[in-house]
Structure formats: structure tokens, C-alpha cells
Amino acid sequence: MRAAICRSHGTRLSIEEIDVAPPGPDHVRVDIHVCAICHSDITYIDGGWGGPTPAIYGHEAAGIVESIGKGVSGIEPGDRVIVGLLRSCGDCFHCQRGEENLCSGTFAETSPFTDASGSAVVRGLNTGAFAAQTVVHRSQVVIVPDDVPLAPASLLACGVLTGFGAVATTASVPAGSSVAIIGLGGVGLSAVQGAVHTGAHPIVAIDIVPQKLAFARELGATHVVNATEPHRTKVVREATSGVGPDFVFVTVGVRSAIDQALGMVRRGGTVVFVGMPPTGLSTEIEVTNLADGSQTLMGSKMGSGRMAHDVPRLIELYRSGDLVLDGLISHTYPLEEINEAIAEVKAGEVVRNLIQFV
């Protein structure tokens, strides 16, 4: 099997042959057909979150189940599935409260991967989908109906689930609320679609790339603002009854965007942190403003996503034409060109680049 291995953080991925062990109890082995590149993969590759190497990242994927371990029911070899990093035990404190995205259960952590010399390779983000085959916990796969192509379906495993869910689930934005979304990558553009779905108005989309602003407008943003525009906060305020948005979603993990959001939200409004910054990033908050303004700060992990519950609903929206997925795919590359595909994502001009295995 071929895979893209991160031998050390901050270096190019190396394309190598690997062996993939059979699935243990409650696990499934999946032939990966397509895997998107998410910013979390890049943060790991660049060392922003540390972690051991060598490692295989990739966690926004789709493929076909090759074999199943003991105790797996409801999934069979041959099933078409999306493969994501969210896994849930079903029994822990959080799972029992419907917070599967925060599952604190314990799982078999042995990596299925070994390289050509027989040394173990870490399964990054519990998924390891920059490989032609991987083994994941059964809760990490959701069956995709035959009429839905695997390439767009793969985006549901992370970016779309996260962006759409931050608006629709974490913040449960009421219809008629004003919303601003900072950052228009795969997560941000999915947040725009979540805002349209919940009936938010106006929907202000903010980024520095003109093509992404234009795309946000196509997806239903009522206003677009270039973040490099010096009067951006004033423009956003004017678009939102002169007071600022009810909700601001920060989909990128950089301090300038976080600070922009805190300066933009209205009194009584809510800032939702969606994008994951590198470890250690912090910012200053004027607590007086927060208390006096009755403002709320909220975190959203993976859009409060529950794979088995949310992915089928998102597939239905896609089927009915109410959720754009194909348009989020910028380019498709073979595994051998994954470093070029990653460089393009880092440059900021593309939304989602996909690695195609089959």
C-alpha cells in the first residue's frame, strides 16, 4: 500500500510503501479512494500541535470497507463510507449526553501501519487517511448511499460537518439573526451554507481572497467584506443594523481573526471559535466589555458533530441541492503530488484539494 508519511515536522511528506494490519475488534479496514487536505493536517505536518513521527495524517476521506473486525455490526465489506477523525465509544459521560464530539472513552491505540523496514508509523488524527488503506474505529465511518459520489462525500467527514454544524448545531442560530463569518476555506464556506440553512440574515462573509468572497456570495452571503479593507469593522457594522452581528464565527485559528471577531460582535452577541489555532495561541480580552456587553464566547469542536446523526442529514441536503459540496473541491491530485497539493492550500487560494487514490 502507498502512503504519504511525515518523517519529521516541517518537511515534505515522503511517499512510501506500508503494510496495514487487519482490523481488531470494533474496527474496520477501509480502502481509501479519496482524502481531502484539511488545515489540521497542515498544522500537524508543520509541527503546530507536536505529536510523534513518523506519522500518516489525513482525516477527511471516503472509500470502501475492505474488512471488519470482531463485534462490528451494521457495516460490511463493500460498503461505501466516509472516514473521519471523530470517534465515539457510546458509553462515556459525554457520549451519554449526546456530546460524541467530546468522547472521553478509551480505544485500542495500536497503529495499523508499518513501513518497509517493519517500523511502526503513527496513525495521525486517529485516522491516517493519506494512505491507500487504513484501519479506524467503527464509529469513524458512516455509510454513503450509492448515488452520492465519494469525492464530495469525503468533505462531510470534517470541514463541512464543522462549518455547517458550528452555525446550525453549536450556536443554533435562530432565523433572522445577523451572522458574520471570518475565513472562507472549506469550514467558512460551509458555515455560510449553515447560516443560509438556518435562515440567518444578513450573512456577512469576510476573507482576503476575492474569489472566495465571490463564491461566498454565490452560496448565499448577503454581504462580503475584504479583511484587508481598513474600514472593515465599520462596513460590517453598517450591514448589521449599525450595531454589529448577533453571531461572529471565526473559522481560522489566527489571532488577527480572533481579535477582529471580538471587536466586531454586537453588545449581547456571541463569538464562536471554530478554527483550531496551533497550541499556545492566546489573546487578551477586556473582561469589562464582555460583562458590561453581556457577550458570549463559545467554542465549537467539529461543529458539535455527531457522525452517525449529522452526516446522513447533510447527505440529504446535498441530494436535494441545498448543500454545495462539489463546488468546494478546487483540484484533485494523485498521492505522488501531495506536497504540491498542500503547498497550494497553504497559499490560501484554494478551498479543498483532494488526493485521489483510485
- Residues forming the site for Zn ion (CB under 5 A): 38, 40, 88-89, 92, 95, 103, 105, 158
| Closest to Zn ion by CB, 3 or 345 | 345
Least spacing, CB of residue 141 vs Zn ion, in Å: 16
Nearest of 285, 305, 304 to residue 295 by alpha carbon: 285
| Closest to Zn ion by CB, 112 or 124 | 124
Least spacing, CB of residue 326 vs Zn ion, in Å: 19
Nearest of 122, 351, 313 to residue 218 by alpha carbon: 351
Locate 66 and state its grid cell: 475492505
Residue pair 60/158 in contact by the 8 Å Cβ criterion: yes
Whose cell is 479519496? That residue is: 34
Residue pair 73/26 in contact by the 8 Å Cβ criterion: no
Least spacing, CB of residue 268 vs Zn ion, in Å: 32
Least spacing, CB of residue 184 vs Zn ion, in Å: 16
Q: How many CB atoms lie within 10 A of CB 193?
A: 27
237 forms beta bridges with none
Cα-based angle 246, 248, 249 (whole degrees, multiple of 5): 140
| Closest to Zn ion by CB, 84 or 245 | 84
Least spacing, CB of residue 99 vs Zn ion, in Å: 8
Locate 56 and state its grid cell: 500518516
| Closest to Zn ion by CB, 22 or 71 | 71
Residue pair 171/245 in contact by the 8 Å Cβ criterion: no
Residue pair 273/299 in contact by the 8 Å Cβ criterion: yes
| Closest to Zn ion by CB, 45 or 225 | 45
| Closest to Zn ion by CB, 86 or 335 | 86
Residue pair 183/225 in contact by the 8 Å Cβ criterion: no
Listed in order, strand segments (DSSP E) in 176-246 are 179-182, 203-207, 223-226
| Closest to Zn ion by CB, 127 or 198 | 127
Least spacing, CB of residue 90 vs Zn ion, in Å: 6
| Strand, helix or coil for residue 58 | coil
- Strand pairing category for 60-68 and 55-56: unpaired
Least spacing, CB of residue 212 vs Zn ion, in Å: 18
